[in-house]
Structure 1
Amino acid sequence: MISRTERSANYAILLLFAVFALWPILTILAGALGPDDAGGPGGLANFPAAWAEGRFGGSMLTSVAVSGFVVVVAGVLSIMAGYAFGTMRVPGAAVLFPLFLLGLMVPTEVIVVPLYFDLRTFGLTNTFWGIALPQVAQSVAFGTFWMRAYFRSRPPSLIEAGRLDGAGSWRILWQILVPPGRPAIVTMVVLTFMWTWNEFLIPLVMATDESLRTAPLGLAFFQGQYTSGLTLLAAAAVIVAAPVVVVYLFLQRHFIRGMLEGAVRE
């Protein structure tokens, strides 16, 4: 039984950490809504001004296209690979699965230079594919690890019952195992979207064309223009971060459920 003092102490600690986490966000929001450094009206007018001056329309569309492609392709590949590693006897799995895990261990900074020369050999630099495909590979590494843990937690009797009913591996995956795995899949999708949206180094190295500039890159170039005026810079930062926040808030129930299930299973 938790005493009233212990409960009050727990709430005080949680409140302290909440303030510590929210303070930078509130500071950026306050700066974005503050008076314009150039003497303009400020407030909500800072957002369309930052959007227009930073030309974020094209960079946001590029980020949406890249993130959508990576989430869909990496998600499908991760589900199928996780299903294979989690429920089947894959020849060479003892070697193949650690190779997938290398994608989680090796930082982007280590591979970006040789990756650039490899993609340049195939003529993929300064293209959409040069930005998206490396991030698909990175996301599949995490997604395979995540979905393997989910599929291994499924009761073997569930798969055996599907096989007794005449279901093949494909039907067992998409009709029996995937529907109840929505929280795990949504968690993978949210994390993949967040990492892809915030990726800075790969778009910076792989593409020099302004039309292929992603939102974080657009924000970085915009920051170079407004080193002294912080109001429009803060508004631009809010614009770039808004899609990630919206996606998380929209899927937070499944995301939290998937994280909790992953924590207690493996």
Structure 2
Amino acid sequence: MISRAERLGNYVILIAFAAFALFPIVSILTAAFGPSDSGATSGLGNFAAAWEVGRFGTYLRTSVAVSGFVVVVSVVLSIMSGYAFGTMRFRGQSVLFYLFLLGIMMPSEAVAVPLYFDLRTLGLIDTFWAVAMPQVALSVAFGTFWMRAYFRASPRAIVEAARIDGASVWRTLWQVLVPPARPAIVTLAVLVFMWTWNEFLIPLIMVTSESLRTAPLGLAFFQGQYTSGFTLLAAGSVIVATPVVIFYLFLQRHFIRGLLQGAVRE
């Protein structure tokens, strides 16, 4: 039985952590809607000015294209590879799976420079693929681990029943296992989208054209080249962060279900 003092202490700790987490967000929003440093704009005018001066429309289109491509390709490949590792037995399975785990442990900073020279040899530098494909590879490594854990936790009786009924491997995956796995898949999609949207190093190294800059990279150039004022920079930060917030809020229920239903159980 939890005493009143313990309950009160828990609430105090939670409120303190919530305030600590929300303070930077509130500060940025307050600055973004406040009067600009020059006093020429305020409120929504700050966002209009930041949008026009910082060219965030172009950057957001690039980020949406890259993030959408990475999410779709990574999730589909992760489902198939996770299904193979989670339900099948084949030679070299353990070694191959450890190679996927190596992709999780290897930070992008460690492979960015060699990857740059490889893509330059292939003539892919300063292209959409130079930004998207490395992030697909990084995301599939985690996605395989995530979906493998889910499929290993799925009841074996369902898979065996499907095989007895004559279902093929593909039909078992897409019609039997994938529908109940929707919370885990949505959780993976949200995580990949956030990681891809916020990725800074790979676009910085791989592209030089302004039309291929992603939103975080464009925000950095906006800070360094266009304005030293904090108000428009805060407005630009809100513009860049808003799509991620909307995407998360739209899929929040499925995201939480995916975390709570044991998507990482073995």
Normalised to the residue count of structure 2, the TM-score between the two structures is 0.97
Distance 2:226 2:59 in 1: 18
The aligned runs of 1:1-266 (5 Å cut-off) are: 1-225=1-225, 228-262=228-262, 265-266=265-266
Q: Which moved more, 1:9-18 or 1:212-221?
A: 9-18
Q: State the Cα distance separating 1:265 from its structure 2 match.
A: 2.1
Distance 1:131 1:228 in 2: 28
2:50 touches 2:233 (CA, 8 Å); kept in 1?
Answer: yes
Give the counterpart letter for 2:159 in structure 1.
I
Q: State the Cα distance separating 1:263 from its structure 2 match.
A: 6.8
1:184 touches 1:258 (CA, 8 Å); kept in 2?
Answer: yes
Q: Which moved more, 1:220-229 or 1:122-131?
A: 220-229
1:186 touches 1:255 (CA, 8 Å); kept in 2?
Answer: yes
Normalised to the residue count of structure 1, the TM-score between the two structures is 0.97
Distance 2:78 2:164 in 1: 26
Give the counterpart letter for 2:136 in structure 1.
V
Q: State the Cα distance separating 1:41 from its structure 2 match.
A: 3.2
The C-alpha deviation readout for 1:184-215, integer Å capped at 9, x for no partner, is: 10110000000000001101111111111110
Q: State the Cα distance separating 1:228 from its structure 2 match.
A: 3.2
User: How high is the sequence identity, in percent, across the aligned residues?
Assistant: 72
Distance 1:204 1:193 in 2: 18
Q: State the Cα distance separating 1:40 from its structure 2 match.
A: 1.5
Structure 1 residues 263 and 3: alpha-carbon distance in aligned structure 2, compared to 1, 3 A threshold: farther
Q: State the Cα distance separating 1:7 from its structure 2 match.
A: 1.4
Distance 1:77 1:189 in 2: 12
Gaps of 5+ in 1: none
Q: State the Cα distance separating 1:226 from its structure 2 match.
A: 5.0
Q: Which moved more, 1:35-44 or 1:176-185?
A: 35-44
Give the counterpart letter for 1:67 in structure 2.
S
2:124 touches 2:130 (CA, 8 Å); kept in 1?
Answer: yes
Q: Secondary structure at the match of 2:261?
A: helix
Distance 2:263 2:177 in 1: 19
The C-alpha deviation readout for 1:128-157, integer Å capped at 9, x for no partner, is: 001100000000000000000000000110
Residue correspondences, number? 266
Q: Secondary structure at the match of 1:217?
A: helix
Gaps of 5+ in 2: none
Q: State the Cα distance separating 1:91 from its structure 2 match.
A: 1.9
Q: Secondary structure at the match of 1:265?
A: coil
2:146 touches 2:264 (CA, 8 Å); kept in 1?
Answer: no
1:104 touches 1:142 (CA, 8 Å); kept in 2?
Answer: yes
